[in-house]
Chain A
Amino acid sequence: MLRIENLNKSFGSVRALDGINLKVNPSEMVALIGASGSGKSTILRHISGLCVGDKAPGEVVVAGNPIQANGKLATDIRTLRAGIGVIFQQFNLIGRLNVITNVLLGALGRTPILRSLCRSFYSADRQLAMESLRKVGLESAAFQRASTLSGGQQQRVAVARTLVQKSPLILADEPIASLDPESSIKIMELLQTLNRENGLTVIVSLHQIDYAVKYCPRVVALCGGRIYYDGPSQQLTTDKMKSIYGEKAAAMFSGQSLETQRLVAKTSPNVLVPRTDIPVGNTLNA
């Protein structure tokens, strides 16, 4: 489904991506984790062709179509983007348009320009848009302005938009970073449904390791623009997290989400887990 070979990206003297190699098979659900600035978003932006890598040998191929190679975007990138659904942290809806129109915009890639300028989308697409809204549970808000919805609702509209887009690959760039826990769970469950029932490939970047472990069988961890870990999420140990997030943050992290580690422990008994019957602070000092 996705193949990245030797992708490099520098912003000035900072190396944001350093020789990334990644392969994702169809119908996989992969979490991208890593500290801020580790390159999660940058990778996703390169896959969707919103960013171009350095002018060095390297390429990004989605579903057999090269998106970019050697620091140059494909010439038919606008058509290729239709096959890659993107969900953004800030939802990126058009606030002044109503919800159903925002969802319909997913069909822009296959709508002739005159039709889309007149806002006369195909009736099949209109039906699909309404169905998608039903799927995310927002059909009652179809004719509200998108800006009047809450963050969680807006993100569900964004998911509906990618559904209308009918892309086999969905990239979600920190989709739950600005949402409350309940909305976050809703979004992650939606993505999981799309992955399991519709067979879509989903790559989602996350800050919250517990969500990554819970919803994604495979985790790719980034550190300083390199892939540090790529494998089953169950084998992600505290030690590994320490080196991903740094000693201090990992310590705080291990204190905060003991639930994650218990979850890990349940699935793989080999992993060392801090005892929960002693105060949390002791693991801090350990």
Chain B
Amino acid sequence: MSQPLTITPDEIIINPITGEPAKPMPPTVEPDSGPQRRLKPQPPVPRRGWGIKRLSFLVITGAILAWSWHGAEIKPMALWRDAGNMVTLAKDFFPPDFSDLKLYLQEMVITLHIALWGTIFAIIFSVPLGLMCSENVAPVWLRQPTRRLMDACRAINEMVFAMLFVVTVGLGPFAGVLALWVHTTGILAKLFSEAVEAIDPQPVEGIKSTGAGLLAEIYYGILPQVFPLWISFTLYRFECNVRSATVVGMVGAGGIGVVLWELIRGFLFRETFATMLVIIVAVTIFDLISQRLRKAVI
């Protein structure tokens, strides 16, 4: 410390507001690195020990994983032991046989038609149903039953619905459309309602205060806010439906799935591979297009 810390009287500053002498600033003391500065014991950072809670959580998780391993009959050794079979099967796939390419393409287009209309019907129903599931729109007596109904639509896979609709409307693409419609409605209604529940309520009050009716309030207050999200959800579901539509055909609900199932059952693996390639290309193209669209909307 070379400088004295005292202040001479003429240096005292008077606060112009209070008229009191200002207090001198306390001297800033540089922390010495000398031996006189003792290291204070730092307060220990609390460490999480192996508490009984944590231990039991790990034990339970482990038990569930082991149980599922057993239940799913996972046998890693089989991969190695049966490697020969796989090589044989893989060999059967080559070279892909495109002699029926025209049929595959036709059926692929029908598959896209199924996906498109399955999604469009789902949108039409999801808009009102989604609003009916939303906490900030629908009263509880309407909301809860609608939500449970949508849960049911979601819980059952489109394949199962396809099998049921094949029974009612017969074999063919329309059964596939119905199956996708029901399942996608269940999903979109939930996604739509979650978007509605996350809106900013203030613009809605602005609309309400003009004396608007309920429909106008939803149309002008809610829809502009959720519109980008809804479009994004819808395009995503359309992507999923293009994939799903290739499968619903396997139970007879039309499209390329029917062809695929027939080929696999006939052990025509070279043709199967060609069909799979067609599906991969089509699905990839539609994924790319819808991603572009989604980015454009948001």
In chain B between 214 and 253, which residues have their CB closer than 8 angstroms to a CB of chain A?
A: 214-216, 219-221, 224-225, 227
A122 interface contact, C-beta 8 A: no
**Beta-carbon contact of B225 and A92 below 8 Å:** no
Q: A50-B205, A92-B203, A279-B16 are in contact. Are A79 and B210 (CB under 8 A)?
A: no
B36 within 8 A of A: no
Q: List 6 A-B contacts (CB under 8 A).
A: A78-B208, A85-B209, A94-B225, A107-B210, A111-B216, A113-B213
B212: contacting residue among A83, A108, A280, A284, CB under 8 A: A108
Q: Which of B19, B202, B212, B224 contacts A90 (CB 8 A)?
A: B202
CB distance from B213 to the nearest CB of A (A): 6
A81 interface residue (CB < 8 Å to B):
yes
Q: How large is the interface on B (under 10, 10 to 19, 20 to 34, 35 or more residues)?
A: 20 to 34
Task: Report yes or no: B205 in contact with A78, Cβ–Cβ below 8 A.
Answer: no
Q: Are B210 and A82 in contact (CB under 8 A)?
A: yes
Query: Does A95 count as interface, using CB distance less than 8 angstroms?
Result: yes
Q: Is the CB of B206 within 8 A of A158?
A: yes
B residues in contact with A282, CB < 8 Å:
17, 19
The answer, among A88, A96, A284, for a CB contact under 8 Å with B224, is A96
Known: A88-B206, A110-B211. 10 other contacts (CB 8 A): A78-B208, A81-B209, A94-B206, A94-B220, A96-B224, A97-B220, A108-B213, A111-B216, A113-B215, A279-B17
Task: List 4 tightest A-B contacts by C-beta distance, closest first.
Answer: A82-B211, A109-B211, A281-B17, A92-B206
Question: Which positions 161-216 of chain B face chain A at CB distance < 8 Å?
Answer: 202-203, 205-216
Contacts of B209 in A (CB 8 A): 48, 50, 81, 84-86, 92
Contact partners of A85 in chain B: CB under 8 A:
209-210
A96 near B216 (CB under 8 angstroms)?
no
- Assess the A161–B210 pair: CB atoms within 8 A: yes
- Give the interface size bracket for A toward B: 35 or more
- Selected from B17, B213, B214, the residue in CB contact (under 8 A) with A280 is B17
Q: Is the CB of B208 within 8 A of A106?
A: no
Q: Which residue from chain B places its CB closest to the CB of A114 in the assembled complex? A: B215
Q: Which of B16, B17, B208, B225 makes the CB contact (< 8 A) with A81?
A: B208
Q: Please indicate the chain B residues that have their CB under 8 angstroms from the CB of A97 in the complex.
A: 220, 224
A109 near B203: Cβ-Cβ < 8 Å: no
Taking CB atoms, residues of chain A closer than 8 Å to B214 are 78
In the complex, per-residue mask of A93-135: 1 if CB is within 8 Å of any chain B CB, else 0: 1111100000001111111010011000000000000000000
A78 touches B206 (CB 8 A): no
Q: Are A108 and B207 in contact (CB under 8 A)?
A: yes
Inter-chain contact B210/A165, CB cutoff 8 Å? yes
Q: Which of A60-93 contact B (CB under 8 A)?
A: 78-86, 88, 90-93
Q: Which residue of B lies closest to A279 (CB)?
A: B17
